[in-house]
A and B are shown apart, each in its own frame.
Chain A
Amino acid sequence: MLYVETIKYGFYVITHPLDGFWGIRRENKGSLAAAFTFVVLTILTLTIEKQNTGFLFNMNRLSELNVLVDIFTVLLVYVLWCVANWCTTSLMEGKGRMKDILIAIGYALLPIILIRLPMVVMSHMITADEGTFYYVLGTISYLWTGLLIFTGTMTIHQYSISKTIVTIAITVVAMGILMFIGLLFFNVIQQMLTFVMTIYRELRFR
């Protein structure tokens, strides 16, 4: 399938989630390239939102903004979720492959881009009294994405609703465990490196 068409397919997925994710799993209608595009766009959206939202709705301190932190937060959560989900679902007879998970989650981020980007423009045009609309829209964007992640997981692994809930709960726990192992790993590597460096220095000074 053409890249452009897989991008277009994203709009079908967010409006017809069950059918749409089925198309991703069975009919190869989505692509990794499109999914990654959506992830990058999400990062861009969230960064633009932090920087360019109007003063009335922007509680961020721009002098302490770090784009790198924002980028890595989104990427980390995305990758961590996908890996953790893949780990749990392969143990729980999920039918989805790693590729399907990556694509499904990527596509599920589309509402965030579609709603939150116009919200940045909107924030410059409304007063605080009209802020309710703004906040409702923001909530809708996250709810929509959450619902898509849920249906996506359900469809690509061919789960029932209750099993999906359990899987998602386990996925969250698995994310925590992964983080823990990751930190532990980093720590050990650091210790080892320091050890090697110390020996090297010791030898050089002799």
Chain B
Amino acid sequence: MKKTVKTIAVFASALCLLASRPMAARADMPYETYNFNFWGEEVLQPHSYLYSGSISTAQIGSALRYPQDMCIFEDHIYVADTGNSRILILNLDGSTAREVTAADGAEDLLNQPQGVFVTDAGHLYVADSGNSRIVEYDEDLNFIREIGRPETNLISASQAYTPVRLVVDHSDRIYVIAYGINMGLVEFDKDGVFQGFMGATEVSVSTFEYIWKNYFSTEAQQARMETIIPTEYSDIFVDDENFIYATISNLSEEDHMQGADMVRRLNPTGTDVLRRLGNNDITGDLNGRSFSTFVDVAATDYGCYFILDSAGGKIFAYDYDGNSLFAFGKKGIKEGNVQQPVALALGDGQDKIYVLDNTLGSILTFEITDYGRHLLDALRLNDIGDAEGSNREWQAVIQSNSNNEMAYIGLGKTYLAEGNYKQAMEYFRLGNSRKYYTKAFFYYRKELMEANFGKAMLVLGLGIVIGLAVYYVFRFRRWVGEVKCFMSKR
């Protein structure tokens, strides 16, 4: 009898244990979140963003056909619904608020617009690709103006001009990516006057290639060879400092092998100023088997940026210095997977990430987790100079993920500032940062030397004294011996 009771008790407690196990809710995400360590290996880490639903036909009320671009302004999502030749303005819950199909009057229809942008003042800019023009609307969606083909002899008259993406910076300069124009971004001033091309990607030809092409190959071979064309940008984003993030997607395998830029941060003169100080290159996946294709980018105002990779259906996050923060997302057919992602936008600060999928015709939303919030907050607080707050956030990050090298470096920096050099060294070692380790070590060594200089000198002095004493004692004894010998000889 007793035994039965015992057995039941054991079973009951076992059941309790099973029931109280933390729910594996996070594990059923249709993707994994990982980051790259110092050695460039993928290391799984807690999810930074969780899939939280999608906006598709049911919410919108009509189907999207091959949408190309998306922009978020205040409480609305602006979608360039290219296949339906319209701009859709959605509320954040997905219901349609407005629809724009015409430009100047009801007769003047949009034709497959591929790019959409909303300025700080709420003005809507549309890249009306089919009509080769940019259209501007005011905050009430009244037509203001259209900006046509740039008037310049830099592009020949026969060359098509198809604007596909555009941004307007905070000084109202307009930057446009156009198909077939490989001289960089097309820049218009605020009156819509063509200013020039900006941020042209350099053509890189190796010496060997140049000599081979020009001196050793026949004309037939030359004709068959690919002509060297500079890369075109795939998408642009303007950040709060008027700098333009631009992604490049049409790279060949060779370009990837040679380490061609996949994303740039252009200053107003068109020079790439993206910081590449991380341990790994900013190339998305690093495995060398498959290459990422960057199709869109969005940045926070503290310099972190998110890049959308259409090849793997992933989102990669980097900080201001170019350290990779995390990567998540997957191509597939499960809910929460993407098929052909084309655009990315941040909502609610950066608490939500919206991804527009061209094939699915829907917008996937991802919501930040506590872990992701701690990580981004640590960087944000660091950016505004709140070291204490940043430290607190890094502690929280380490608690969830002891593999996070950046957190170790972040905490190490605090210890370094506090003057706790030994601890700082240990953290920099864990974070694999030789750059900061050597700083901490320099001060640690100085401290050690200053503290022990007296002792060291004492030991050295004593050593010299004892050494001299021994030497002289021996000399004296030898001298005594010699004297004795001398005496005895006499």
Contact = CB atoms under 8 A, between A and B. Distances in A.
A10 to B, nearest CB: 28
A179 interface: no
A64 to B, nearest CB: 9
Contacts of A127: 438, 441-442, 445
A46 to B, nearest CB: 22
B39 A56 contact: no
Interface residues of B, number: 9
B445 A56 contact: no
A93 interface: no
Interface in B200-252: none
A55 B39 contact: no
B242 to A, nearest CB: 36
Contact of A129 (B39, B429, B438): B438
Contacts, number: 18
Interface string B401-442: 000000000000000000000000000010000110110011
A56 B434 contact: yes
Q: Classify chain A's interface size.
A: under 10
A55 B445 contact: no
**Interface on chain A toward B: helix, strand, loop, or mixed SS?**
helix
Contacts of B437: 55-56
B245 to A, nearest CB: 32
A128 B434 contact: yes
A170 to B, nearest CB: 31
Interface residues of B: mostly helix, strand, loop or mixed? helix
B434 A55 contact: yes
B442 A55 contact: no
A127 B434 CA distance: 10
A199 interface: no
B39 A128 contact: no
A61 interface: yes
B61 to A, nearest CB: 56
A61 B445 CA distance: 25
Interface in A98-122: none
A128 B437 CA distance: 9
A125 B429 CA distance: 16
B116 to A, nearest CB: 48
B429 to A, nearest CB: 5
Given A55-B434, A56-B434, A128-B434, A61 B441 contact: no
Q: Looking at A61, A128, A129, which has the most chain B CB atoms within 10 Å of its CB?
A: A128
A188 B429 CA distance: 48
Nearest to B39: A61
Interface in B436-463: 437-438, 441-442, 445
Contacts of A128: 434-435, 438
Interface in A53-74: 55-56, 61
Contacts of B429: 55
Nearest to A131: B438
A56 B429 CA distance: 9
Contacts of A56: 434, 437-438, 441
Interface in B91-109: none
Contacts of A129: 438, 442
Interface in A137-164: none
B136 to A, nearest CB: 54
A61 B38 CA distance: 11
A128 B435 CA distance: 8
A127 B449 CA distance: 14
A125 B445 contact: yes
A56 to B, nearest CB: 6
Nearest to B425: A55
A56 B433 CA distance: 9
Q: Which of B39, B429, B441, B445 has the most CB of A within 10 A?
A: B441
Contacts of A61: 39
A59 to B, nearest CB: 9
Nearest to B434: A56
Contacts of B39: 61
Interface string A27-61: 00000000000000000000000000001100001
Contacts of A55: 429, 434, 437
Contacts of B438: 56, 127-129
Given A55-B434, A125-B445, 14 more contacts: A55-B429, A55-B437, A56-B434, A56-B437, A56-B438, A56-B441, A61-B39, A127-B438, A127-B441, A127-B442, A127-B445, A128-B434, A128-B435, A129-B438
Please give me the 9 A-B residue pairs with the lowest Cβ-Cβ distance, nearest first: A128-B438, A127-B438, A127-B442, A55-B429, A56-B434, A56-B438, A127-B441, A55-B437, A56-B437
Interface of A: 55-56, 61, 125, 127-129
12 contacts: A55-B429, A55-B437, A56-B434, A56-B437, A56-B438, A61-B39, A125-B445, A127-B438, A127-B442, A128-B435, A128-B438, A129-B438
